Structure 1
Amino acid sequence: MLGSDGHESNYDWDFIQHYVKEDKRDRSVTQDQHYWGAEIASNPPTVSYNEVMNSDQGVADLTAKIQKYGFSFISSTPSHDPDLTRQVLERIAFIRLTHYGGFYDFIPDLAMADTAYTNLALPAHTDNTYFTDPSGLQAFHLLSHTPPPGVSAETVQGGASLLVDGFNAAKVLKKEDPKAYEILTQVRLPWHASGNAGITITPDRLYPVLEVVDGELGRVRWNNDDRGVVPFGEGYTPEEWYGAARKWDEMLRRRESEYWVQLTPGRVLVFDNWRVMHGRSAFEGIRRICGAYINRDDWISRWRNTNFDRKKVLDSVIG
């Protein structure tokens, strides 16, 4: 083959057939996804801190569970020093830097104009809807929960965490109300972060709640606090979108969709922010939470390279 610059390249016939006629990339580098609801509480995916810190097999187990279930706990993580939480998360990949900083360690003091920095109840949502590329993973570690003055430390003070499998909810929605599912995949919305002075972040374009690629749901983008005005001219009226959104919201709030868990010091929660929505109940007192965001591409790379051999990985991404 003679290029326009006069350079001659030679290719085997098998190579040409490989790319011209069909895609023969190795599709065995995959992970079956297990959709779940409230029943996951009986046996949530978990790996230990020592496993993750001491071997790549531990990282392989952790990332495989996140791929399969959309989340995993890291048990027995030391809680006296948040830097140890940072270290275990960096076993997956480097921490993403955002306008919130990198590794975060905060209390509900409204240091940032975001509902996460309050003690209010939060419904199921995804983070970073205002980014073109929302963070792939998010992690929380409850370091402490100090009760209000005069309240015993043994008294439950709220702040239970909520997880909802967005892919499972979308599957049920598509079955029960195909029209609502269609609307949420078609109507593209404005998203933004503009509560803090000097920060106005919005994606490169409008994105729907349910992002479908090649017929498969690839990402859920849902946070009413970050959503702009529902636009006209997207094939459906705003009234139709709101009707579909109400159906979606009702589905997320069903008892069988919700997994409630009380986080405790030593138990790190890591979840797929493209799939699993999170929330919490209101709480009293002061909770200290640390954690981080991790990029999607980087944690998927780590999953591939700890769960499959190098040749299989290259065959899957190059061909």
Structure 2
Amino acid sequence: MSIEQITPVDNTIEIRWSDGQKSKYHNIWLRDNCHCSSCYYPLTKQRLLNSSTIDLNIKTKSITPKNDEIEIVWDNDHTSIYDTDWLRIHSYNPKLVPIEDKLKNAKEILKQELWQVKDIENNLPQVDYNTVMQSSDETDQEEAIKDWSLKIWKYGFCLINNVPINPKDTEKLCEKLNYIRPTHYGGFWDFTSDLSKADTAYTNFDISNHTDGTYWSNSPGLQLFHLLYHDGKGGTTSLVDAFKCAEIFKKNHPESYEIFTNIPVPAHSAGEPKVCIQPDIPQPIFKLDHHGKLIQVRWNQSDRSTMDYWEQPEDVLKFYQAIKDWCSIITSSENELWHQMKPGQCLIFDNWRVFHSRSEFTGERRLCGAYLERDDFVSRLKLLTLGRDVVLDSI
């Protein structure tokens, strides 16, 4: 996008773009975002400038357009150069809808596909273990990791086929995607229904739809399971796209939706004698970004603590009505996808988006798996699918 005109206005600079739109930037904001070698370390992409040292009323001495850049000399004789694409992308007054092709493509590539059972039951997202394990970042042959990551992101889960029935190989699969997150359950788990940990996951009980780790301030981003052995019946897993269900919930029960976005819900993990984990602050079931977009669902009836604080006592009945409305949606046959896990096939899912459950079972059942951090996963996803230049433009 080219620039038609640049006009200093008080302590701001106004740019008129070739498409007729205008952007206004404060001088101090521009000075703070100077990327010269004395203000910014390009190797680490970190700011070197101490923002508190900038004069709030800093003035421009000169403004010079140069090809696809703008050179500004400030009243203290410091020179800053700004890329015009960068200025356009980071316009904040007003916030412009990016129209550059690379940003439009990025939005399309990372578009999540919300689903109900009918949309996905005959075409489950799957990848092959051997293809994934043969990929190498040293030779830029990461297409298999890219494909795997995109399927997890788009659909909220993915199956991995032809996995050796050996926990060590499953652990290597986890590490191929990202770092394993250690918790009080350990790093990589290998467990049966022997209550070696005081949690219902270590029993043969029926476990309803939920997300893990509502008792952590930062719930696990991804979770991977591999059923290594089962000589009994039951133990079927269900998956639910909670984002799709929230869409239905908001449409059909708007008041209940608001309750889930506003009422903080305390949670705990306290089964182990030396453990009583609680988040720093209770958090709502629906976590929204600053645009009001749903980015996380924290739902676990088993781990909910006693709710004895209510700003409005009348919210008590509204909250329990919201639970009824919500459960009628997430347990509907339209939304609950049942899948029988089997040795040799792993399941990985987005723990911020997709619920999982397990039916009661008989016999001996052995699983292994791990948690993986969401931020690390999203970082790798973006770098693989969008490219480093586009990612860096956004920061």
Q: 1:294 aligns with which of 372, 378, 394?
A: 372
Query: Helix, strand or coil: the match of 1:225?
Result: coil
Give the number of the structure with larger relative contact order, counting CA–CA contacts within 8 Å between residues 6 or more apart: 1
CA separation in 2, counterparts of 1:87 and 1:167?
30
Query: Helix, strand or coil: the match of 1:90?
Result: helix
Q: Conserved in 2, the CA contact under 8 Å of 1:183 and 1:236?
A: no
Aligned partner of 2:173 in structure 1 is: 88
CA separation in 1, counterparts of 2:235 and 2:128?
24
Change over 3 Å in CA distance of 1:198–1:244 after alignment to 2: same
Change over 3 Å in CA distance of 1:50–1:234 after alignment to 2: farther
Q: Which amino acid aligns with 2:319?
A: W
Aligned partner of 1:11 in structure 2 is: 80
What are the superposed Cα offsets for residues 29-85 of structure 1, whole Å, 9 maximum, x if unpaired?
341111112222211100100121112111100110011000000111111x21101
Report the CA distance between 1:303 and its aligned residue: 0.9
Q: Conserved in 2, the CA contact under 8 Å of 1:186 and 1:234?
A: no
CA separation in 2, counterparts of 1:97 and 1:88?
16
CA separation in 2, counterparts of 1:297 and 1:127?
17
1:107 has 2:192 as partner: yes
Report the CA distance between 1:12 and its aligned residue: 2.7
TM-score of the two chains, using structure 1 as the length reference: 0.90
Pairing of 1:29-178 with structure 2 (within 5 A): 29-30=106-107, 31-39=110-118, 40-55=120-135, 56-79=142-165, 81-147=166-232, 157-178=233-254
Q: Conserved in 2, the CA contact under 8 Å of 1:124 and 1:277?
A: yes
Aligned partner of 2:306 in structure 1 is: 229
Aligned partner of 1:150 in structure 2 is: none
Q: 2:282 aligns with which of 206, 209, 212?
A: 206
CA separation in 2, counterparts of 1:303 and 1:250?
34
CA separation in 2, counterparts of 1:104 and 1:4?
47
Q: Which amino acid aligns with 1:43?
A: N
Q: 2:332 aligns with which of 247, 250, 254?
A: 254
1:180 has 2:260 as partner: no
Report the CA distance between 1:229 and its aligned residue: 2.1
CA separation in 2, counterparts of 1:27 and 1:130?
37
CA separation in 2, counterparts of 1:129 and 1:257?
22
What are the superposed Cα offsets for residues 286-308 of structure 1, whole Å, 9 maximum, x if unpaired?
11100000001011111112222
CA separation in 2, counterparts of 1:234 and 1:159?
41
Report the CA distance between 1:28 and its aligned residue: 4.0
Change over 3 Å in CA distance of 1:310–1:241 after alignment to 2: same
Where structure 1 has 5 or more consecutive residues not aligned to the other structure, the ranges are 148-156
Report the CA distance between 1:272 and its aligned residue: 0.1
Query: Helix, strand or coil: the match of 1:64?
Result: helix
TM-score of the two chains, using structure 2 as the length reference: 0.74
Where structure 2 has 5 or more consecutive residues not aligned to the other structure, the ranges are 1-30, 33-50, 55-75, 136-141
CA separation in 1, counterparts of 2:298 and 2:323?
12
CA separation in 2, counterparts of 1:238 and 1:193?
23
What are the superposed Cα offsets for residues 185-208 of structure 1, whole Å, 9 maximum, x if unpaired?
111111111111111111111111
Aligned partner of 1:277 in structure 2 is: 355
Q: Which amino acid aligns with 1:37?
A: Q
CA separation in 2, counterparts of 1:28 and 1:208?
33
Report the CA distance between 1:27 and its aligned residue: 6.0
Q: Conserved in 2, the CA contact under 8 Å of 1:187 and 1:235?
A: no
Q: Conserved in 2, the CA contact under 8 Å of 1:70 and 1:165?
A: yes
Percent identity at matched positions? 40
1:245 has 2:323 as partner: yes
Report the CA distance between 1:19 and its aligned residue: 5.3
Q: Conserved in 2, the CA contact under 8 Å of 1:187 and 1:234?
A: no
Change over 3 Å in CA distance of 1:12–1:207 after alignment to 2: same
CA separation in 2, counterparts of 1:258 and 1:4?
53
